[in-house]
Amino acid sequence: MLERTRDELRGLAELVDPLLRWSAGVSPLRWREVDLVRLTHEAVTSSQLDVPTGRVAIECPPQLWLTADADELRAAISNLLRNALTYSPASKPVTVSLAIDETGATISVKDEGPGVPVAERTAIFDP
């Protein structure tokens, strides 16, 4: 119970902290080497609090190191997962795939939801 509460609070902090930095006009990125695989597993764990275990599948190499702001990247992955879990049928899986090549890393979240309406797609990345 305590661990679940801690995970829920971490998820809330992931949502609130960037908003506070953005509203204050201060949002310096904290670049460091991070293992994207570990970070993705953390995001999946925090995003599945009210979801049956096993609904999210992760397809990835054993490790995938890159330079990033771990908190911002974890928040972005968590947000994608929450959206996928919220807007896709509860009986369908959500798959997160990680890959890397000479141009960079790719994070893909696949679900069977209806998708974003065409008219709203241009506003997806607006703050």
Residue 1, pLDDT > 60, answer: no
Phi, psi of 100 (to 5 degrees): -140, 145
Instruction: Report residue 83's pLDDT band, with 50, 70 and 90 as the boundaries.
Output: confident
Q: Note if the pTM is more than 0.85.
A: no
Please give the Cα distance from 28 to 91 (Å, whole number). 40
Query: What integer pLDDT is reported at residue 58 of this predicted model?
Result: 93
Query: What integer pLDDT is reported at residue 15 of this predicted model?
Result: 61
Question: Hey, what CATH topology would domain 2-112 get?
Answer: Heat Shock Protein 90 (3.30.565)
The residue ranking higher by pLDDT, 44 or 21, is 44
The residue ranking higher by pLDDT, 96 or 75, is 96
Average pLDDT, the chain: 83
Please give the Cα distance from 42 to 48 (Å, whole number). 10
3-class state of residue 125 by DSSP: coil
Instruction: Report residue 2's pLDDT band, with 50, 70 and 90 as the boundaries.
Output: low
Contact 104, 113 (CB under 8 A): no
Q: Which long-range contacts (C-beta less than 8 Å, at least 24 apart) are formed by 30-33?
A: 30/69, 30/70, 30/71, 31/67, 31/68, 31/69, 32/67, 32/68, 32/69, 32/70, 33/65, 33/66, 33/67
